[in-house]
Amino acid sequence: MASGSALIFDEEMSDYKLLWTDPVCEIEVPERLTVSYEALKARGVAERCKQVPVRLATEQEILLAHSEEYLEAVKQTLKMSVEELKAFSKQYNDVYFHQNIYHCATMAVGATLQLVDSVMKREVRNGMALVRPPGHHSQRSAANGFCVFNNVAIAALYAKKTYNLNSVLYFSWHRYEHRTFWPNLPESDYTSVGKDKGSGLNVNLPWNKVGMTNSDYLAAFFHVLLPVAYEFDPELVLVSAGFDSAIGDPEGEMCALPETFAHLTQLLMPLAAGKMCVVLEGGYNLTSLAQSVCQTVQSLLGDPAPQLSGLTDPCESALDSIQNVRSAHSSYWSCFKHLG
């Protein structure tokens, strides 16, 4: 039985920043990475983890989830002037480029794949990769929302190919506000359940108001994610850890306390015989980000989660979202069959 938790980090991934004025992009700063790692060190958490070195992803690995044309376009940013970078960034939505971002994005993918390898080879039980740039918004042929390459999507395809894993179950909760919040995609609503062989394997839980609390997040876990996840019975759990849902975040505007992430992590750990890879995504309040990362890694290490006080019933909006998701998936999952 594998034991221990991996921690993957390289300060090189903080070696890019916004080079012009952009009020949307200015919250994505190098300190996101460094404060998270420093907090782990200060609490004595980093030294308890197995430090795994970062590697660069190969082009073939990046092409698992991205087009050749897009990869070649991003490679050109290495030699662009600031004005050229600014013009290139404007082709995409809410993202900025820098001469060093291709290198950092390649490291972010490589770090994520190193974590997958360490967990799948049972060198460790689980782990977290602190990476930058994040990946969850990037598309096959487009950068998007601070993201260049889709680290976790590449990791899922890599795991399927390298370790002969089977189908992928995707779950996402996200600020949506009835499609009035960025990126305003209809396919982010609960009605998008997947197509063909993937029908029922795409589970979207949209939050239709801000200010969701610990109680709302836990209710979503207990009534949507966990029933489906245990029925699906995965061989590996990949977590896109977006801490913009933490209290004080300017992007998410939600109210989950950092301690909540200790509980959410702990609830996922029995799945896949403990094989879990957590990969940093968003999180733009440096204080709550660092605290949330620490809570997550401490849970991975097996520390007891701190007690949550003040839990209440979930709010009406959260209950509506939960019920809508369960109904939309009632024909796919036996845990929701009574709703059909």
Q: Which residues are catalytic?
A: 137
Q: How many residues does the chain have?
A: 340
Distances (CA, A) of 56 to 52, 62, 107: 13, 10, 5
Q: What is the dihedral of CA 229, 230, 236, 240, to 10 degrees?
A: 30
Q: What is the DSSP string of 221-257?
A: IIIIIHHHHHHH--S-EEEEE-GGGBTT-TTT---B-
Partnered with residue 239 across adjacent β-strands are: 278
Query: How many CB atoms are closer than 10 A to CB 302?
Result: 14
Binning the chain into helix, strand and coil, the percentages to the nearest 5 are 45, 10, 45
Distance CA 340, CA 228 (A): 15
Distance CA 45, CA 47 (A): 6
Distance CA 316, CA 322 (A): 10
